Amino acid sequence: MEYPLLPKQMPATIKSVWRKTTILLALIFIIIGLAVTALLAYLDVFTNPWIIALSIYFGITILITLISVALIPYRYHFYRFEVTPEDLAFQKGYFFRSITYVPMNRIQHVETEQGPFLRKENLMEIVIHTAATSHRIAGLDMSEALNLREQIIALVKVAKEDV
């Protein structure tokens, strides 16, 4: 049985943002590893067990980074959403897929966020807050994000009036 895909997909430029974020995170971990290596060398305790441990650390960091970058096209294909008058649906996952439905009358407030990588690509993120958690739609065009935010707010008002 084929898993259904929701209709709305992020702009393709979100892949660039995900790639940059993954590489930045990897660089942070590599810098931490280099700092530990320098500290061990400075303290003159850079022995064989530390060399093995740091080699494993750097190897795992590089491996996870390569796998994460390689899986970005799959992540992009399955990261979707849909807005209906009754609810919001969020789909994610390429191995373990899930669709989360949030009823409009459960939404408390809606935010927009924009980090440096999103700003460079002229993208924005919408954060939908409920009493229990928050859900994110990352990587929307700025105008689409603002329009979607207004649409969600209007649908929430209608849903709360009906209750």
The pTM assigned to this predicted structure is 0.84
With 0-12 / 13-18 / 19 or more C-beta atoms within 10 angstroms meaning exposed / middle / buried, residue 161 is exposed
CATH number at residue 119: 2.30.29.30
Contact (Cβ atoms closer than 8 angstroms) between residue 127 and residue 113:
yes
User: Looking at the structure, do residues 107 and 89 belong to the same domain, yes or no?
Assistant: yes
Residue 26: inside a domain, yes or no? Answer: yes
With 0-12 / 13-18 / 19 or more C-beta atoms within 10 angstroms meaning exposed / middle / buried, residue 118 is buried
Per-10-residue mean pLDDT of the chain, 163 residues long, equals 81 93 97 95 89 95 97 91 91 87 91 92 93 89 91 88 70
Domain that holds residue 107: 80-162
User: Looking at the structure, do residues 66 and 124 belong to the same domain, yes or no?
Assistant: no
Q: How many domains, the chain? A: 2
- What distance in Å separates the CA atoms of residue 9 and residue 88, rounded to the nearest whole number? 14
Residue 115: inside a domain, yes or no? Answer: yes
The amino acid at residue 87 is: D
